[in-house]
Amino acid sequence: MSAETVQTIIDDLGALLLFTMIVIVAAGQIYRAIYAVAAQSLLIAIAGGVLAAATGNTDLWVIAGVTLGVKAIVLPWTLHWVVRRMNVRREVEPVIPVAATLALAVVVVVMSFHLSASLGSVQPAITGNALPVGIALTLLGVLVMATRKTALTQMVGLFASENGIFFTAMAVTQGMPLIIEIGVILDVILAALVMAIMVLRVRSTVDADIADLAELRG
Amino acid sequence: MTGDRPLGLVLFEMTLLVLLGPLVTGTIQKLKARLQCRQGAGLLQPYRDLAKLLRKGTVQADTASGFFSAIPVLVLAATAATTALVPVVQAGPSAVPLGDALMLLGLFALARFLTAIGALDAGGAFGGMGASREMTVAPLVEPVLMMVVFSTAVAAGTTELGALAAHRGTSWILAWRAPDFLGFAAMLLLLPAETGRIPVDNPDTHLELTMLHEGMLLEHSGPGLGCMVLASHTRQIVTLALVSALFFPVGPVDGASVTGLLLGAGAFAVKILVLATFLALVESSYAKLRFFRVPQYLGVGFVCALAALALRIL
């Protein structure tokens, strides 16, 4: 594959990633957000595969495989399981209206494109639009975390944010060392497990969600 | 500007679009019926409805002014004029300067405005309700449509739809760049809103308070209603043709030969059928959104279109 083809494919995948992120931000039901984050991880695995084929870096194949297995299948399945287990209401509960979040998302997207356009000297080393898309994904993930009340949707935001960082790292550096990537993935798994157990415990002990803990007095 | 599409061809395409509009509606209704395990009315049912309406007499509200009876004709004229602006069987700019995508969207807005004015003029409660709702949705749909058009127009350097389609070439999805994916996603989200279908509007009902477009037609009757219905059929097929001109390849640019035109016509039929199937599937698998959720739904389209524009420009 020529460098230009790779750049085109990564750009296209970036656009699709952005679309899944917008769906996560706008999702009114938690299942939709979970499916969108799974699709996002799948796209990142594809991006990893493309970069691996282009650079001949075998580590990237491993990373793409692990991403596919862990982030596109196991983590969404875990989230799904927690939702079913908890019998939670399936609507996400936003702190501010979803329309306002979408307006903020617009600002974030434009800002991140503006920001990476101002990084004039760095840009040639970077694959196409991967940097602004990665920044936008990361920040939008944080936005989702900040504007949702329920812990599960915040977890979805965290995974999306993590996907953004992963995508940027992969596209910009043409693959980080394997050990770092594996460490990051392990971190994510651990975080997911801890959060899932935490959510279930809080739920079963005091029948409250994370947002209610703000009113906790010692 | 080199004129690729002679006036005769444009006139032929206009006739084709106006004549085929009801067929598309019939196809969508048939597909929906089959998806619901019903036999459904025939494909030609919209034509029969139109013929019936044209034979009937007119009843008009006492409160309606003289302008009211002119509304259906004006709406139909504005909508029929848009058919001249989309390429159907052949890409390339038209020989006579007729207008561009902005003109098309402007005519759509004019038709929408006239429909709403007519509904308010008649003084019915449902008409006013429908008009108010339609005017709430319109400012959410139109800018996004414009941004989608712009996101492709920036790459081609023109807003003339024929030239845009020629720039798209024939390699279709292989030639898609990142903004095209987002723009197409935005377009697919907008398509039900622009054609008055679920999840934004419900085309099948005249009874519920949830209706937008149908509510505005309640006060019309006879040939006037026929004109309004034909206008909404035409609007639907023009919107589908707009999508296919922006994102799918239209027939060959230099295909002035008969085979070229036939190929273009076949391709057009396939594209419209695919989009009609999409609409039927969406309409069968989703419920209508609560009206206050509609801005959120259209907001997704807005953000997608904006991101497409950002990818293209920044």
Tell me the per-residue pLDDT of A40-97, one tens digit each, with 9 for 90 and over: 999 999 998 988 888 888 888 888 898 899 889 998 998 888 888 877 666 777 888 8
- Which member of A18, A113, A132 has the closest CB to residue B182? A18
- In this prediction, residues B50-71 reach a mean pLDDT of 90
pLDDT for the residue numbered B44: 93
Q: A187 Cβ partners below 8 Å, 6+ apart? A: none
What average pLDDT does chain A have?
Answer: 84
- Domain around B243: 7-313
Question: Is position B1 within any domain?
Answer: no
Report CB contact under 8 Å: A109, B306: yes
- In this prediction, residues B157-167 reach a mean pLDDT of 84
Kindly report which listed range (B83-87, B197-201, B243-247) carries the lowest average pLDDT score.
Answer: B197-201
pLDDT for the residue numbered B106: 94
pLDDT for the residue numbered A120: 66
pTM of the model as a whole: 0.88
- In this prediction, residues A106-112 reach a mean pLDDT of 90
Q: How many CB atoms lie within 10 A of CB A56?
A: 8
- For the cut 60, the answer to whether the pLDDT of residue B133 exceeds it is yes
Burial of B131 (0-12, 13-18, 19+ CB in 10 A): buried
Interface of B with A in 60-119 (CB under 8 A): none
- In this prediction, residues B285-293 reach a mean pLDDT of 84
Minimal CA–CA distance to B138: which of B77, B43, B212, B216?
B212
- For the cut 50, the answer to whether the pLDDT of residue A112 exceeds it is yes
Torsion of CA B275, B281, B285, B288, to 10 degrees: 40
pLDDT for the residue numbered B189: 92
B176: left (phi over 0), alpha (psi -120 to 50) or beta: beta
Q: Which residue carries 């037609």 as its tokens?
A: B217
Tell whether B260 is within 8 A of chain A (Cβ): no
- For the cut 60, the answer to whether the pLDDT of residue B255 exceeds it is no
Q: What's the rounded Cα separation, in Å, for the pair B265 and A2?
A: 36
The answer to whether the CB of A132 falls within 8 A of the CB of A112 is yes
The answer to whether the CB of A133 falls within 8 A of the CB of B310 is no
pLDDT for the residue numbered B144: 93
Tokens for B80? 């029929």
Kindly report which listed range (A140-144, A157-161, B125-129, B232-236) carries the lowest average pLDDT score.
Answer: B125-129
Question: Is position B2 within any domain?
Answer: no
Question: Is position B122 within any domain?
Answer: yes
ipTM > 0.95 for the complex: no
Tell whether B174 is within 8 A of chain A (Cβ): no
pLDDT for the residue numbered B105: 93
Q: What's the rounded Cα separation, in Å, for the pair B23 and B240?
A: 13
Chosen from B144, B180, B303 to mutate, greatest number of chain A CBs within 10 A: B303
Question: Is position B118 within any domain?
Answer: yes
Which residues in A lie closer than 8 A to residue B293 (C-beta atoms)?
A: 28
- Which member of A15, A26, A102 has the closest CB to residue B182? A15
- Which member of A22, A114, A132 has the closest CB to residue B304? A22
pLDDT for the residue numbered A92: 74
Kindly report which listed range (A129-138, A190-199, B256-265, B267-276) carries the lowest average pLDDT score.
Answer: B256-265
pLDDT for the residue numbered A89: 64
Tell whether B188 is within 8 A of chain A (Cβ): no
Chain A contact residues (CB < 8 Å to B): 8, 11-12, 14-16, 18-19, 22-23, 25-26, 28, 98-99, 102-103, 105-106, 109-110, 113-114, 117, 128-129, 132, 136
Burial of B211 (0-12, 13-18, 19+ CB in 10 A): buried
pLDDT for the residue numbered A83: 84
- In this prediction, residues B159-175 reach a mean pLDDT of 77
- For the cut 60, the answer to whether the pLDDT of residue A125 exceeds it is no
Work out how many domains chain B is built from and give that number: 1
Kindly report which listed range (A91-95, B144-148, B161-165, B233-237) carries the lowest average pLDDT score.
Answer: A91-95
- For the cut 80, the answer to whether the pLDDT of residue B78 exceeds it is yes
Q: What's the rounded Cα separation, in Å, for the pair B103 and B109?
A: 10
pLDDT for the residue numbered A148: 86
Query: CA angle, B186 as apex, B182 and B188 as ends, to 5°?
Result: 115
Reduced to 3 states (helix: H, G, I; strand: E, B; else coil), residue A94 is strand
pLDDT for the residue numbered B1: 41
- Which member of A15, A106, A110 has the closest CB to residue B181? A15
Comparing alpha-carbon positions, the chain B residue that sits nearest to A14 is B178
Report CB contact under 8 Å: B182, A19: yes
Minimal CA–CA distance to B138: which of B111, B172, B158?
B111
Q: How far apart are the first and last CA of chain B?
A: 29
CA distances, A188 to each of A40, A166, A192 (Å) = 15, 11, 6
- Which member of B295, B304, B307 has the closest CB to residue A99? B295
pLDDT for the residue numbered A123: 58
Q: What's the rounded Cα separation, in Å, for the pair A188 and A208?
A: 25
Beta-bridge partners for A91? A29
pLDDT for the residue numbered A124: 54
Q: B227 Cβ partners below 8 Å, 6+ apart? A: B72, B73, B75, B76
pLDDT for the residue numbered B158: 85
- In this prediction, residues B274-300 reach a mean pLDDT of 88
